[in-house]
Structure 1
């Protein structure tokens, strides 16, 4: 490796470190501000479960330090979600210098869209999925059983569903980016629709609890969001060049243009 290449590599590592530190600091600042209300934040997270439990029943903590660490984990999760625009911006700012000018103009819409869709996925999970799934489980359970969920297992459960639905709502962004970058044409994405539907139900079966309700509530929005991504992709992508190539082909043929 030459001296200039090594110096460039080191400078990239330094910039990556600085971007990571800024993202971590943003999360920690929000976390410190929210810590006084850690217990209230967990109570809010547990509300969908508490609404389905018999009157007078409470969740339990089987570990000695669990009542402290679980609310702290929840608060850290909320802090990351609130600081997500900053985290995504730092990631984008790191890769932006290597992109074309027209690609860099997508920075703000991409960061805002990604953050908003992830939050919408979590909100859909909290307000619609949790209540439906917990009610289904409570009605299915034998009457001789009094449910008393452990708070740590409950946190693991809701975290899994939050991440699953948050990522599911990113499907339109992924579709639009693939089409806008010329990696895959809209026509090819339309042809892949049957495979996407099958894949959506397979993913839902893997990441959700073993009940049909939660699997359908994940797979169906994933399919609908894929269709939404196709609609948006048709609107934002330019028509093919006269030679039939994509925008990426034109750039490769005539040069990158403005950097």
Structure 2
């Protein structure tokens, strides 16, 4: 396979008579954010599950970090981390305890230091001693992503990470994802939110009816459409415009409210 962080060639997957993937091809450069777009049921999660070695493809090849997902599944698992659609945190434990637990399960040295570093990295230090059940949606998702980074995976899969989050929480997650890429982590992001891909991704692929129908940068995708047209739109006068045009009764003495309004109207014109 190539030197890309993720390389997928002619990937196919069916569930009985339902053909979900019909020959999917794409590559993800190391240290980049790659967004896989598609409507519900397009096969985005199926692609992620195959790349994460949780599901076997019917045909085609896929490699993560240079390791074949079928022939070298264990090496792939050592390379990656997967964050699903819903935060997988223990809400009874504190944020710090969640991180320490995962570090201990991975048999890493100094789990407390690892937890403290990740709390600081994701702006959760002040909330670290609180139960995760008291966190907002955005904080839980940031903690979930922080937990997935324990062990320093070079590739992380984020499967619709902002599903169900409010706008403020989505922005928190966007900041966390951007931080990951700046640190050199390769991110494959599946989403059905177009603005999310537009804000985060270095490259975008659209999965439709089992195939990648387009793959490129945002600028490249925009150039697929005809140039934007500039059209003249006639502005209808407001009642305020009519009133002052007919009466002409505007107190233009400096400092008066009407003078301020007149200045505003002049600025508008």
Please say whether Structure 1 and Structure 2 have the same fold, judged by a TM-score greater than 0.5.
no
Higher helix fraction: Structure 1 or Structure 2? 1
Shorter-chain TM-score bucket reads under 0.3
Alignment TM-score, normalising by the size of structure 2: 0.24
Higher relative CO (Cα under 8 Å, sequence separation at least 6) belongs to 2
Larger radius of gyration: 2
TM-score, normalising length: structure 1: 0.24
